[in-house]
Amino acid sequence: MLRTRHHDHDHACEHGHPPVDVLKVAEARCAERKLKLTPIRREVLSHLAASPAPMGAYDLIEKMHHSSGRRPAPISVYRVLDFLLEAGLAHRIESRNAYVACAHRHDGPDLVVFMICDACGCVSEASGAPVEKDLAAIAGAAGFTAASRVVEMFGRCAHCGPTEKT
């Protein structure tokens, strides 16, 4: 299946959180956990929140270079991304090797479902709670222990319409 990724599209995706909202959640979460939201962490999170599609580390570096005129080292951006993941402020979309901001208040072990549009690349996040027990039962019956609590679904967002049949 061909999966395209377009960052420049003309519709709002459900993923797109207003950066101010994401930063408010991040500030509160960091205060609760006694973590520091440094300027570079804030900047990376803001870019993730403003993007309608997942962003890779090098996408972030280019955005940061464009917005601030400085180009951070890749290792610095990867460290920030690791912090954001650990703090529950971002998620990694494994199939895209990219990241999205998270303004939801769920715990690390909660099942998260990502719906990824094949046409425009936008990502919507939903709780997997309604199917969590069924997936655990399926895995258990197969003697499988899940290392990840993320489901990625591919298809078309409401704006892009149904997948074309070939």
Instruction: Confirm whether 100 is domain-assigned.
Output: yes
Q: Which residue has the higher pLDDT, 165 or 12?
A: 165
| CA distances (Å), origin 76, targets 57, 58, 107 | 10, 11, 26
Taking the C-alpha atoms of residue 163 and residue 118, their distance in angstroms, rounded to an integer, is 9
Q: What is the CATH number of the domain that holds 28?
A: 1.10.10.10
Tens of pLDDT, residue by residue over 61-102, are 999 999 999 999 999 999 999 999 999 899 999 999 999 998
Find the mean pLDDT for residues 30-41. 95
Quote the pLDDT of residue 121.
Answer: 87
- The 8-class DSSP code of residue 115 comes to E
122 labelled as ligand-binding? no
Q: Which residues lie across from 118 on neighbouring strands?
A: none
Q: Which two tokens stand for residue 13?
A: 């995706």
DSSP β-ladder status, 150-155 and 112-117: parallel
Longest distance between any two alpha carbons in the chain, whole Å: 54
**Predicted model pTM:** 0.80
Quote the pLDDT of residue 125.
Answer: 87
Span between the terminal Cα atoms of the chain, in Å: 11
Q: Which domain holds residue 48?
A: 19-155
Instruction: Confirm whether 23 is domain-assigned.
Output: yes
30 labelled as ligand-binding? no
Instruction: Confirm whether 166 is domain-assigned.
Output: no
Instruction: Confirm whether 165 is domain-assigned.
Output: no
Quote the pLDDT of residue 66.
Answer: 95
Closest CA to 163 of 9, 16, 2: 2
Residue 6 has pLDDT above 90, yes or no: no
117 labelled as ligand-binding? yes
Give me the number of domains the chain comprises.
1
Sign of CA dihedral 160, 47, 111, 106: negative
Instruction: Confirm whether 58 is domain-assigned.
Output: yes
Reported confidence tier of residue 11, pLDDT bands at 50, 70, 90 = very low
Tens of pLDDT, residue by residue over 113-163, are 999 999 988 888 888 888 888 998 999 999 998 887 889 999 998 888 876
Taking the C-alpha atoms of residue 22 and residue 48, their distance in angstroms, rounded to an integer, is 9
Residue 4 has pLDDT above 50, yes or no: no
Q: CA angle, corner 109, sides to 106 and 111, nearest 5? A: 75
Instruction: Confirm whether 162 is domain-assigned.
Output: no
Instruction: Confirm whether 54 is domain-assigned.
Output: yes
Residue 1 has pLDDT above 50, yes or no: no
Instruction: Confirm whether 139 is domain-assigned.
Output: yes
Quote the pLDDT of residue 7.
Answer: 42
Closest CA to 109 of 77, 134, 83, 136: 136
Sign of CA dihedral 46, 49, 55, 57: positive
